[in-house]
Chain A
Amino acid sequence: MEPLSNRKKVLEQKPMNFWERLYLPAIFQGMGITFKHMFKKKETIFYPEVEREFSENWRGMHSLKRDEQGRERCTACGLCALSCPAEAITMIAAERQKGEEALYREEKYAAVYEINMLRCIFCGLCEEACPKEAIYLDGPIVPADYLRKDFIYGKDKLVEEPLKV
Protein backbone atom coordinates (compact mmCIF):
# COMPACT_ATOMS: atom_id res chain seq x y z
CA MET A 1 0.00 0.00 0.00
CA GLU A 2 1.16 3.49 -0.78
CA PRO A 3 2.05 5.58 2.19
CA LEU A 4 -0.57 8.19 3.00
CA SER A 5 2.00 10.66 4.22
CA ASN A 6 5.74 10.84 4.35
CA ARG A 7 5.72 10.86 8.12
CA LYS A 8 6.14 7.11 8.53
CA LYS A 9 9.16 6.22 10.61
CA VAL A 10 10.63 2.78 11.04
CA LEU A 11 11.76 2.29 14.62
CA GLU A 12 14.84 0.23 15.24
CA GLN A 13 14.70 -2.03 18.25
CA LYS A 14 18.20 -2.78 19.37
CA PRO A 15 18.91 -5.26 22.14
CA MET A 16 19.78 -3.47 25.37
CA ASN A 17 23.45 -2.97 26.11
CA PHE A 18 25.06 -3.66 29.46
CA TRP A 19 24.27 -0.30 31.05
CA GLU A 20 20.68 -0.43 29.93
CA ARG A 21 20.31 -3.94 31.31
CA LEU A 22 21.54 -2.74 34.67
CA TYR A 23 18.47 -0.43 34.85
CA LEU A 24 20.24 1.66 37.46
CA PRO A 25 21.50 4.55 35.25
CA ALA A 26 18.04 4.97 33.77
CA ILE A 27 16.46 4.79 37.22
CA PHE A 28 18.79 7.45 38.61
CA GLN A 29 18.10 9.65 35.60
CA GLY A 30 14.38 9.29 36.20
CA MET A 31 14.80 10.04 39.88
CA GLY A 32 16.66 13.21 38.98
CA ILE A 33 13.75 14.30 36.85
CA THR A 34 11.16 13.63 39.56
CA PHE A 35 13.32 15.36 42.15
CA LYS A 36 13.41 18.49 40.01
CA HIS A 37 9.63 18.47 39.98
CA MET A 38 9.55 18.73 43.78
CA PHE A 39 10.62 22.36 43.54
CA LYS A 40 8.50 23.36 40.58
CA LYS A 41 5.49 25.58 40.93
CA LYS A 42 2.47 23.50 41.85
CA GLU A 43 -0.41 23.41 39.40
CA THR A 44 -3.07 22.95 42.07
CA ILE A 45 -5.95 25.43 42.21
CA PHE A 46 -7.56 25.34 45.65
CA TYR A 47 -11.03 25.02 44.19
CA PRO A 48 -13.67 26.12 46.66
CA GLU A 49 -11.53 29.07 47.77
CA VAL A 50 -10.00 29.91 44.40
CA GLU A 51 -11.93 29.52 41.19
CA ARG A 52 -10.32 29.11 37.84
CA GLU A 53 -11.30 31.77 35.32
CA PHE A 54 -13.89 30.60 32.82
CA SER A 55 -13.44 31.21 29.11
CA GLU A 56 -15.62 33.82 27.44
CA ASN A 57 -17.89 31.33 25.74
CA TRP A 58 -18.30 29.20 28.85
CA ARG A 59 -21.82 27.84 29.27
CA GLY A 60 -22.83 27.26 32.86
CA MET A 61 -26.02 27.54 34.85
CA HIS A 62 -28.92 29.32 33.17
CA SER A 63 -30.26 32.63 34.29
CA LEU A 64 -33.52 34.27 33.27
CA LYS A 65 -32.83 37.91 32.56
CA ARG A 66 -34.66 41.09 33.44
CA ASP A 67 -34.77 44.22 31.31
CA GLU A 68 -33.50 47.70 32.25
CA GLN A 69 -36.56 48.35 34.41
CA GLY A 70 -36.26 45.08 36.27
CA ARG A 71 -39.09 43.29 34.45
CA GLU A 72 -38.82 39.65 33.45
CA ARG A 73 -38.08 39.37 29.77
CA CYS A 74 -39.44 35.86 29.29
CA THR A 75 -42.83 35.66 27.52
CA ALA A 76 -43.21 31.89 27.80
CA CYS A 77 -43.21 31.43 24.02
CA GLY A 78 -41.77 27.95 24.48
CA LEU A 79 -39.08 28.22 21.80
CA CYS A 80 -36.38 27.29 24.26
CA ALA A 81 -38.29 24.19 25.31
CA LEU A 82 -38.84 23.35 21.65
CA SER A 83 -35.19 23.79 20.74
CA CYS A 84 -33.89 21.86 23.72
CA PRO A 85 -32.47 18.54 22.44
CA ALA A 86 -32.47 17.06 25.92
CA GLU A 87 -36.04 18.13 26.69
CA ALA A 88 -34.93 19.64 29.93
CA ILE A 89 -37.12 22.75 29.91
CA THR A 90 -40.79 22.91 30.84
CA MET A 91 -42.94 25.93 31.43
CA ILE A 92 -46.50 27.00 32.15
CA ALA A 93 -47.58 30.30 30.69
CA ALA A 94 -49.91 32.82 32.37
CA GLU A 95 -51.49 36.12 31.44
CA ARG A 96 -50.30 39.30 33.03
CA GLN A 97 -52.92 40.84 35.31
CA LYS A 98 -53.54 44.50 35.92
CA GLY A 99 -50.96 45.95 38.29
CA GLU A 100 -48.25 43.48 37.36
CA GLU A 101 -46.75 45.70 34.64
CA ALA A 102 -43.68 46.33 36.76
CA LEU A 103 -43.02 42.60 37.05
CA TYR A 104 -43.39 41.28 33.52
CA ARG A 105 -42.47 43.07 30.33
CA GLU A 106 -45.19 41.71 28.05
CA GLU A 107 -48.77 40.46 28.38
CA LYS A 108 -47.74 36.83 28.73
CA TYR A 109 -45.21 35.44 31.17
CA ALA A 110 -43.95 32.11 32.53
CA ALA A 111 -45.71 31.26 35.75
CA VAL A 112 -43.63 28.12 36.10
CA TYR A 113 -40.29 27.72 34.41
CA GLU A 114 -38.30 24.62 35.24
CA ILE A 115 -35.00 23.27 33.95
CA ASN A 116 -33.92 19.78 34.88
CA MET A 117 -30.19 20.20 35.38
CA LEU A 118 -29.64 16.44 35.17
CA ARG A 119 -31.08 16.39 31.66
CA CYS A 120 -29.50 19.63 30.46
CA ILE A 121 -26.44 19.15 28.27
CA PHE A 122 -25.46 22.83 28.33
CA CYS A 123 -25.49 23.08 24.53
CA GLY A 124 -26.78 26.65 24.56
CA LEU A 125 -29.52 26.12 21.96
CA CYS A 126 -32.13 27.68 24.27
CA GLU A 127 -29.98 30.77 24.43
CA GLU A 128 -29.86 30.91 20.63
CA ALA A 129 -33.56 30.20 20.19
CA CYS A 130 -34.80 32.88 22.55
CA PRO A 131 -36.23 35.85 20.63
CA LYS A 132 -36.45 38.00 23.76
CA GLU A 133 -32.86 37.58 24.98
CA ALA A 134 -34.31 36.23 28.18
CA ILE A 135 -32.17 33.19 28.88
CA TYR A 136 -28.39 33.02 29.07
CA LEU A 137 -26.08 30.26 30.25
CA ASP A 138 -23.77 32.65 32.03
CA GLY A 139 -23.81 31.22 35.55
CA PRO A 140 -21.34 29.12 37.50
CA ILE A 141 -21.01 25.34 37.57
CA VAL A 142 -24.26 23.71 38.68
CA PRO A 143 -23.56 22.47 42.21
CA ALA A 144 -23.90 18.86 43.34
CA ASP A 145 -26.89 17.71 45.35
CA TYR A 146 -28.24 14.58 47.01
CA LEU A 147 -31.70 14.06 45.49
CA ARG A 148 -32.85 14.02 41.90
CA LYS A 149 -35.79 16.30 42.64
CA ASP A 150 -33.42 19.00 43.86
CA PHE A 151 -31.89 19.27 40.40
CA ILE A 152 -35.10 20.59 38.90
CA TYR A 153 -34.45 24.32 39.13
CA GLY A 154 -37.49 26.58 39.25
CA LYS A 155 -37.84 30.31 38.83
CA ASP A 156 -36.59 30.88 42.37
CA LYS A 157 -33.14 29.74 41.33
CA LEU A 158 -33.13 30.84 37.69
CA VAL A 159 -34.48 34.40 37.60
CA GLU A 160 -31.96 37.18 38.10
CA GLU A 161 -31.98 39.21 41.28
CA PRO A 162 -34.40 42.14 40.97
CA LEU A 163 -32.86 45.56 40.34
CA LYS A 164 -31.83 47.42 43.45
CA VAL A 165 -33.46 50.83 43.59
Chain B
Amino acid sequence: MELAFIIEKFIVVTVIFLISLTIAAYSTLAERKIAGYLQDRVGPNRAGPGGMFQPLADGLKMFFKEEIIPADSSKALFILGPSLALLTSLIGSAVIPWGQSIEIADRLVSLQIADVNVGILYIFGVVSLGVYGIMIGGWASNNKFSLMGAIRAASQSISYEIPMGLSIIALLMTTNTLSMKEIAEQQHGINWNIFYQPLGFLIFLVCSFAETNRTPFDLPECETELVGGYHTEYSGFKMGAFMFAEYLNMFLASAVMSTLYFGGYNYPGMDWVNGMAGPLFGPLIGMGVLLLKIFAFIFFFMWVRWTVPRFRYDQLMNLGWKVLIPLAIANIVITGIVITIYDKL
Protein backbone atom coordinates (compact mmCIF):
# COMPACT_ATOMS: atom_id res chain seq x y z
CA MET B 1 0.00 0.00 0.00
CA GLU B 2 1.45 3.30 -0.96
CA LEU B 3 1.65 6.25 1.36
CA ALA B 4 -0.51 8.51 -0.78
CA PHE B 5 -3.35 6.02 -0.60
CA ILE B 6 -3.20 5.91 3.19
CA ILE B 7 -3.14 9.71 3.44
CA GLU B 8 -6.02 9.97 1.00
CA LYS B 9 -8.16 7.50 2.95
CA PHE B 10 -7.22 9.18 6.22
CA ILE B 11 -8.45 12.53 4.91
CA VAL B 12 -11.68 11.04 3.58
CA VAL B 13 -12.34 9.24 6.87
CA THR B 14 -11.67 12.37 8.90
CA VAL B 15 -13.90 14.53 6.74
CA ILE B 16 -16.79 12.07 6.80
CA PHE B 17 -16.35 11.57 10.54
CA LEU B 18 -16.49 15.31 11.16
CA ILE B 19 -19.44 15.78 8.83
CA SER B 20 -21.46 13.08 10.55
CA LEU B 21 -20.62 14.44 14.01
CA THR B 22 -21.58 17.98 13.00
CA ILE B 23 -24.81 16.84 11.41
CA ALA B 24 -25.68 14.75 14.46
CA ALA B 25 -24.97 17.68 16.78
CA TYR B 26 -27.04 20.08 14.73
CA SER B 27 -29.82 17.51 14.41
CA THR B 28 -30.46 18.05 18.11
CA LEU B 29 -30.96 21.75 17.44
CA ALA B 30 -33.00 21.05 14.32
CA GLU B 31 -35.22 18.68 16.25
CA ARG B 32 -36.00 21.28 18.87
CA LYS B 33 -36.50 23.99 16.29
CA ILE B 34 -38.80 21.82 14.17
CA ALA B 35 -40.69 20.70 17.24
CA GLY B 36 -41.17 24.35 18.12
CA TYR B 37 -42.34 25.37 14.68
CA LEU B 38 -44.76 22.46 14.43
CA GLN B 39 -46.26 23.50 17.74
CA ASP B 40 -46.49 27.25 16.98
CA ARG B 41 -43.43 28.00 19.09
CA VAL B 42 -39.98 29.20 18.00
CA GLY B 43 -37.68 26.73 19.74
CA PRO B 44 -34.31 27.56 21.33
CA ASN B 45 -33.17 31.04 20.28
CA ARG B 46 -31.00 32.36 23.11
CA ALA B 47 -27.58 30.77 22.52
CA GLY B 48 -26.13 32.71 19.61
CA PRO B 49 -28.09 34.09 16.66
CA GLY B 50 -31.24 32.02 16.28
CA GLY B 51 -29.92 29.43 18.75
CA MET B 52 -26.93 28.58 16.56
CA PHE B 53 -24.68 27.58 19.47
CA GLN B 54 -27.27 25.54 21.32
CA PRO B 55 -25.56 22.20 20.45
CA LEU B 56 -22.29 23.55 21.89
CA ALA B 57 -24.07 24.65 25.05
CA ASP B 58 -25.79 21.28 25.35
CA GLY B 59 -22.50 19.47 24.84
CA LEU B 60 -20.78 21.57 27.49
CA LYS B 61 -23.62 20.94 29.88
CA MET B 62 -23.32 17.20 29.31
CA PHE B 63 -19.57 17.35 29.98
CA PHE B 64 -19.85 19.26 33.22
CA LYS B 65 -22.72 17.33 34.74
CA GLU B 66 -22.00 14.87 37.50
CA GLU B 67 -21.73 11.32 36.23
CA ILE B 68 -23.46 8.88 38.46
CA ILE B 69 -22.70 5.18 38.24
CA PRO B 70 -25.26 3.29 40.34
CA ALA B 71 -23.72 1.34 43.20
CA ASP B 72 -25.45 -1.89 42.21
CA SER B 73 -24.60 -1.72 38.53
CA SER B 74 -22.03 -3.77 36.64
CA LYS B 75 -19.55 -0.97 36.18
CA ALA B 76 -17.65 -2.25 33.16
CA LEU B 77 -20.83 -3.02 31.24
CA PHE B 78 -22.37 0.25 32.36
CA ILE B 79 -19.56 2.11 30.62
CA LEU B 80 -19.46 -0.28 27.66
CA GLY B 81 -23.16 0.27 26.80
CA PRO B 82 -23.07 3.89 25.60
CA SER B 83 -19.60 3.44 24.09
CA LEU B 84 -20.83 0.56 21.97
CA ALA B 85 -23.95 2.48 20.93
CA LEU B 86 -21.83 5.42 19.82
CA LEU B 87 -19.23 3.25 18.09
CA THR B 88 -21.68 1.21 16.03
CA SER B 89 -23.56 4.28 14.90
CA LEU B 90 -20.30 5.89 13.74
CA ILE B 91 -18.83 3.00 11.73
CA GLY B 92 -21.95 2.48 9.65
CA SER B 93 -21.25 5.37 7.32
CA ALA B 94 -18.03 3.71 6.06
CA VAL B 95 -19.68 2.03 3.08
CA ILE B 96 -21.92 4.91 1.99
CA PRO B 97 -20.77 6.23 -1.40
CA TRP B 98 -20.77 9.99 -0.86
CA GLY B 99 -20.13 10.86 -4.48
CA GLN B 100 -18.39 9.91 -7.68
CA SER B 101 -14.63 9.79 -7.63
CA ILE B 102 -12.98 13.20 -7.74
CA GLU B 103 -9.81 13.93 -9.62
CA ILE B 104 -7.05 15.71 -7.70
CA ALA B 105 -3.60 16.00 -9.31
CA ASP B 106 -4.17 13.06 -11.66
CA ARG B 107 -5.34 10.83 -8.83
CA LEU B 108 -8.84 9.42 -8.72
CA VAL B 109 -10.00 9.85 -5.12
CA SER B 110 -13.02 7.75 -4.17
CA LEU B 111 -15.53 9.53 -1.96
CA GLN B 112 -16.30 6.27 -0.20
CA ILE B 113 -14.27 5.01 2.73
CA ALA B 114 -14.48 1.32 1.81
CA ASP B 115 -16.12 -0.24 -1.24
CA VAL B 116 -17.09 -3.50 0.43
CA ASN B 117 -18.76 -5.77 -2.12
CA VAL B 118 -21.34 -6.78 0.50
CA GLY B 119 -21.96 -3.21 1.65
CA ILE B 120 -25.64 -3.70 2.39
CA LEU B 121 -24.94 -6.70 4.60
CA TYR B 122 -22.26 -4.70 6.41
CA ILE B 123 -24.77 -1.96 7.17
CA PHE B 124 -27.29 -4.51 8.38
CA GLY B 125 -24.71 -6.07 10.64
CA VAL B 126 -23.67 -2.73 12.10
CA VAL B 127 -27.24 -1.56 12.62
CA SER B 128 -28.23 -4.75 14.41
CA LEU B 129 -25.07 -4.48 16.51
CA GLY B 130 -26.31 -1.06 17.63
CA VAL B 131 -29.02 -2.58 19.76
CA TYR B 132 -26.34 -4.30 21.86
CA GLY B 133 -25.31 -0.93 23.26
CA ILE B 134 -28.87 -0.36 24.43
CA MET B 135 -29.24 -3.89 25.76
CA ILE B 136 -25.96 -3.85 27.65
CA GLY B 137 -26.68 -0.40 29.04
CA GLY B 138 -30.17 -1.39 30.14
CA TRP B 139 -28.97 -4.64 31.69
CA ALA B 140 -26.00 -3.11 33.50
CA SER B 141 -28.13 -0.39 35.10
CA ASN B 142 -29.67 -2.98 37.42
CA ASN B 143 -33.01 -1.20 37.26
CA LYS B 144 -36.29 -2.76 36.26
CA PHE B 145 -37.28 0.12 34.00
CA SER B 146 -33.97 0.03 32.17
CA LEU B 147 -34.27 -3.70 31.76
CA MET B 148 -37.78 -3.37 30.36
CA GLY B 149 -36.53 -0.76 27.91
CA ALA B 150 -33.66 -3.01 26.86
CA ILE B 151 -35.99 -5.99 26.37
CA ARG B 152 -38.29 -3.87 24.25
CA ALA B 153 -35.38 -2.57 22.19
CA ALA B 154 -34.17 -6.10 21.54
CA SER B 155 -37.55 -7.54 20.59
CA GLN B 156 -38.42 -4.53 18.46
CA SER B 157 -35.10 -4.68 16.68
CA ILE B 158 -35.48 -8.41 15.94
CA SER B 159 -39.06 -8.01 14.75
CA TYR B 160 -38.35 -5.16 12.39
CA GLU B 161 -35.08 -6.46 10.98
CA ILE B 162 -36.98 -9.26 9.26
CA PRO B 163 -39.27 -7.08 7.09
CA MET B 164 -36.32 -4.74 6.54
CA GLY B 165 -34.18 -7.58 5.21
CA LEU B 166 -37.06 -8.90 3.11
CA SER B 167 -37.64 -5.49 1.55
CA ILE B 168 -33.94 -5.35 0.71
CA ILE B 169 -34.12 -8.78 -0.96
CA ALA B 170 -36.68 -7.42 -3.42
CA LEU B 171 -34.35 -4.50 -4.08
CA LEU B 172 -31.42 -6.83 -4.67
CA MET B 173 -33.46 -8.78 -7.22
CA THR B 174 -33.68 -5.64 -9.35
CA THR B 175 -30.14 -4.37 -8.75
CA ASN B 176 -28.27 -7.72 -8.79
CA THR B 177 -25.53 -6.41 -6.52
CA LEU B 178 -24.81 -6.00 -2.81
CA SER B 179 -22.26 -3.24 -3.26
CA MET B 180 -23.48 0.20 -2.26
CA LYS B 181 -21.24 1.80 -4.86
CA GLU B 182 -22.70 -0.21 -7.73
CA ILE B 183 -26.25 0.37 -6.53
CA ALA B 184 -25.58 4.10 -6.51
CA GLU B 185 -24.00 3.97 -9.97
CA GLN B 186 -26.98 2.08 -11.40
CA GLN B 187 -29.32 4.90 -10.42
CA HIS B 188 -27.67 7.38 -12.77
CA GLY B 189 -29.71 10.48 -13.50
CA ILE B 190 -33.29 9.93 -12.39
CA ASN B 191 -33.24 6.13 -12.76
CA TRP B 192 -33.90 5.80 -9.02
CA ASN B 193 -34.89 2.58 -7.30
CA ILE B 194 -37.93 4.20 -5.68
CA PHE B 195 -39.70 3.91 -9.05
CA TYR B 196 -39.08 0.14 -9.14
CA GLN B 197 -39.62 -0.58 -5.45
CA PRO B 198 -42.20 1.83 -3.99
CA LEU B 199 -43.68 -0.75 -1.61
CA GLY B 200 -40.24 -1.98 -0.63
CA PHE B 201 -39.24 1.60 0.19
CA LEU B 202 -42.32 2.08 2.36
CA ILE B 203 -41.53 -1.07 4.33
CA PHE B 204 -37.88 -0.05 4.63
CA LEU B 205 -38.92 3.41 5.84
CA VAL B 206 -41.23 2.08 8.56
CA CYS B 207 -38.58 -0.41 9.67
CA SER B 208 -35.88 2.22 9.81
CA PHE B 209 -38.08 4.22 12.18
CA ALA B 210 -38.20 1.16 14.40
CA GLU B 211 -34.48 0.43 14.08
CA THR B 212 -33.48 3.94 15.06
CA ASN B 213 -35.90 3.90 18.03
CA ARG B 214 -37.70 7.00 16.82
CA THR B 215 -41.31 7.89 17.51
CA PRO B 216 -43.79 6.27 16.78
CA PHE B 217 -41.63 3.29 17.72
CA ASP B 218 -39.62 4.74 20.59
CA LEU B 219 -40.86 2.19 23.08
CA PRO B 220 -37.38 1.48 24.53
CA GLU B 221 -37.31 4.93 26.09
CA CYS B 222 -41.04 5.41 26.53
CA GLU B 223 -41.13 8.09 29.25
CA THR B 224 -44.74 7.59 30.22
CA GLU B 225 -44.29 3.96 31.20
CA LEU B 226 -40.60 3.39 31.77
CA VAL B 227 -39.33 6.68 33.27
CA GLY B 228 -36.55 6.94 30.68
CA GLY B 229 -36.28 3.39 29.41
CA TYR B 230 -32.82 1.99 28.90
CA HIS B 231 -31.09 5.25 29.84
CA THR B 232 -32.95 5.86 33.09
CA GLU B 233 -29.80 5.47 35.19
CA TYR B 234 -27.51 7.33 32.83
CA SER B 235 -26.39 10.88 33.39
CA GLY B 236 -23.85 13.32 32.09
CA PHE B 237 -21.72 12.35 29.16
CA LYS B 238 -22.89 8.73 28.95
CA MET B 239 -26.46 9.93 28.55
CA GLY B 240 -25.17 12.32 25.91
CA ALA B 241 -23.48 9.41 24.13
CA PHE B 242 -26.78 7.54 23.95
CA MET B 243 -28.57 10.61 22.61
CA PHE B 244 -25.81 11.26 20.12
CA ALA B 245 -25.94 7.65 18.97
CA GLU B 246 -29.66 8.04 18.32
CA TYR B 247 -29.10 11.07 16.11
CA LEU B 248 -26.17 9.41 14.34
CA ASN B 249 -28.37 6.39 13.66
CA MET B 250 -30.99 8.67 12.19
CA PHE B 251 -28.33 10.24 9.97
CA LEU B 252 -27.10 6.81 8.89
CA ALA B 253 -30.63 5.55 8.19
CA SER B 254 -31.31 8.66 6.10
CA ALA B 255 -28.07 8.15 4.18
CA VAL B 256 -28.86 4.49 3.52
CA MET B 257 -32.38 5.26 2.34
CA SER B 258 -31.16 8.05 0.08
CA THR B 259 -28.51 5.78 -1.42
CA LEU B 260 -30.63 2.66 -1.84
CA TYR B 261 -33.88 4.21 -3.04
CA PHE B 262 -33.41 7.87 -3.90
CA GLY B 263 -30.37 7.67 -6.14
CA GLY B 264 -27.67 8.68 -3.67
CA TYR B 265 -25.57 11.38 -5.29
CA ASN B 266 -27.45 11.13 -8.61
CA TYR B 267 -29.78 13.84 -9.79
CA PRO B 268 -31.44 14.65 -13.11
CA GLY B 269 -29.13 16.51 -15.46
CA MET B 270 -25.98 15.52 -13.59
CA ASP B 271 -24.00 14.76 -16.77
CA TRP B 272 -24.49 18.31 -18.01
CA VAL B 273 -23.58 19.76 -14.61
CA ASN B 274 -20.51 17.51 -14.38
CA GLY B 275 -19.41 18.67 -17.83
CA MET B 276 -19.72 22.29 -16.74
CA ALA B 277 -18.21 21.96 -13.26
CA GLY B 278 -15.28 19.74 -14.09
CA PRO B 279 -13.96 16.55 -12.46
CA LEU B 280 -13.36 18.16 -9.07
CA PHE B 281 -16.50 20.15 -8.38
CA GLY B 282 -18.99 17.93 -10.25
CA PRO B 283 -18.80 15.06 -7.74
CA LEU B 284 -18.80 17.55 -4.86
CA ILE B 285 -22.10 18.94 -6.15
CA GLY B 286 -23.34 15.35 -6.21
CA MET B 287 -22.28 14.98 -2.60
CA GLY B 288 -24.18 18.15 -1.77
CA VAL B 289 -27.27 16.68 -3.44
CA LEU B 290 -26.90 13.53 -1.34
CA LEU B 291 -26.63 15.64 1.80
CA LEU B 292 -29.76 17.54 0.78
CA LYS B 293 -31.62 14.25 0.43
CA ILE B 294 -30.33 13.19 3.84
CA PHE B 295 -31.50 16.45 5.38
CA ALA B 296 -34.91 15.95 3.81
CA PHE B 297 -35.10 12.50 5.39
CA ILE B 298 -33.95 13.80 8.77
CA PHE B 299 -36.65 16.46 8.56
CA PHE B 300 -39.14 13.72 7.72
CA PHE B 301 -38.04 11.72 10.77
CA MET B 302 -38.59 14.74 13.01
CA TRP B 303 -41.81 15.72 11.33
CA VAL B 304 -43.23 12.25 12.01
CA ARG B 305 -41.96 12.35 15.58
CA TRP B 306 -43.88 15.51 16.36
CA THR B 307 -47.04 14.30 14.65
CA VAL B 308 -47.63 10.67 15.53
CA PRO B 309 -48.12 9.39 19.07
CA ARG B 310 -46.24 6.35 20.32
CA PHE B 311 -47.56 2.92 19.35
CA ARG B 312 -48.72 0.53 22.01
CA TYR B 313 -46.49 -2.50 22.42
CA ASP B 314 -49.03 -4.97 21.00
CA GLN B 315 -49.75 -2.63 18.09
CA LEU B 316 -46.03 -2.52 17.37
CA MET B 317 -45.76 -6.30 17.28
CA ASN B 318 -48.95 -6.65 15.24
CA LEU B 319 -47.68 -4.18 12.69
CA GLY B 320 -44.31 -5.86 12.46
CA TRP B 321 -45.30 -9.50 12.26
CA LYS B 322 -48.80 -9.44 10.79
CA VAL B 323 -48.61 -6.54 8.36
CA LEU B 324 -45.05 -5.73 7.36
CA ILE B 325 -43.66 -9.26 6.98
CA PRO B 326 -46.54 -10.49 4.76
CA LEU B 327 -46.31 -7.27 2.76
CA ALA B 328 -42.56 -7.68 2.32
CA ILE B 329 -42.97 -11.30 1.17
CA ALA B 330 -45.70 -10.24 -1.25
CA ASN B 331 -43.34 -7.57 -2.53
CA ILE B 332 -40.68 -10.18 -3.23
CA VAL B 333 -43.17 -12.39 -5.06
CA ILE B 334 -44.50 -9.52 -7.18
CA THR B 335 -40.97 -8.35 -7.98
CA GLY B 336 -40.00 -11.87 -9.01
CA ILE B 337 -43.03 -12.27 -11.28
CA VAL B 338 -42.47 -8.89 -12.91
CA ILE B 339 -38.77 -9.57 -13.50
CA THR B 340 -39.54 -12.99 -15.01
CA ILE B 341 -42.17 -11.57 -17.36
CA TYR B 342 -39.88 -8.68 -18.28
CA ASP B 343 -37.01 -11.08 -19.12
CA LYS B 344 -39.24 -13.29 -21.27
CA LEU B 345 -40.40 -10.35 -23.40
| Chain A interface (Cβ < 8 Å from any Cβ of B) | 21-23, 27, 30-31, 33-35, 37-38, 40-44
| A35-B303, A41-B40, A42-B37 given; 17 more Cβ-contact pairs under 8 Å | A21-B323, A22-B323, A30-B308, A31-B303, A31-B307, A31-B308, A33-B307, A34-B303, A34-B307, A37-B39, A37-B40, A38-B38, A42-B41, A42-B42, A43-B40, A43-B41, A44-B42
- The 8 A CB mask of B294-322 against A (1 = contact, 0 = none) is 00000000011011100000000001000
Chain B residues in 8 Å Cβ range of A44:
41-42
- The 8 A CB mask of B72-90 against A (1 = contact, 0 = none) is 0000000000000000000
The chain B residue with its CB closest to the CB of A22 is B323
Partner of B37, one of A21, A31, A38: A38
Chain A residues in 8 Å Cβ range of B304:
27, 31
Chain A residues in 8 Å Cβ range of B303:
31, 34-35
In the bound complex, CA of A118 to CA of B306 (Å): 38
A102 to chain B, nearest CB (A): 47
B residues 258-301 touching A (CB-CB < 8 Å): none
- A40 touching B40, Cβ below 8 Å: yes
In the bound complex, CA of A94 to CA of B282 (Å): 88
> Can you list 12 A-B contacts with CB-CB less than 8 angstroms, sorted by A residue number?
A21-B323, A23-B319, A27-B307, A27-B308, A30-B308, A34-B307, A35-B38, A35-B303, A38-B38, A43-B40, A43-B41, A44-B42
- B306 touching A42, Cβ below 8 Å: no
- A42 touching B40, Cβ below 8 Å: yes
Chain B residues in 8 Å Cβ range of A42:
36-37, 40-42
Partner of B306, one of A22, A34, A40: A34
In the bound complex, CA of A23 to CA of B217 (Å): 13
A5 to chain B, nearest CB (A): 32
- The 8 A CB mask of B24-47 against A (1 = contact, 0 = none) is 000000000000111111100000
Smallest CB-CB A-B distances: 9 pairs: A34-B307, A34-B38, A30-B307, A38-B37, A44-B42, A31-B307, A43-B40, A42-B42, A44-B41
In the bound complex, CA of A35 to CA of B299 (Å): 11
The chain A residue with its CB closest to the CB of B41 is A44
In the bound complex, CA of A22 to CA of B319 (Å): 9
Chain B residues in 8 Å Cβ range of A33:
307
In the bound complex, CA of A23 to CA of B309 (Å): 12
B188 to chain A, nearest CB (A): 31
In the bound complex, CA of A125 to CA of B319 (Å): 61
In the bound complex, CA of A93 to CA of B240 (Å): 58
A58 to chain B, nearest CB (A): 25
B175 to chain A, nearest CB (A): 26
Chain B residues in 8 Å Cβ range of A37:
37-40
B299 to chain A, nearest CB (A): 10
In the bound complex, CA of A3 to CA of B56 (Å): 61
Chain B residues in 8 Å Cβ range of A35:
38, 303
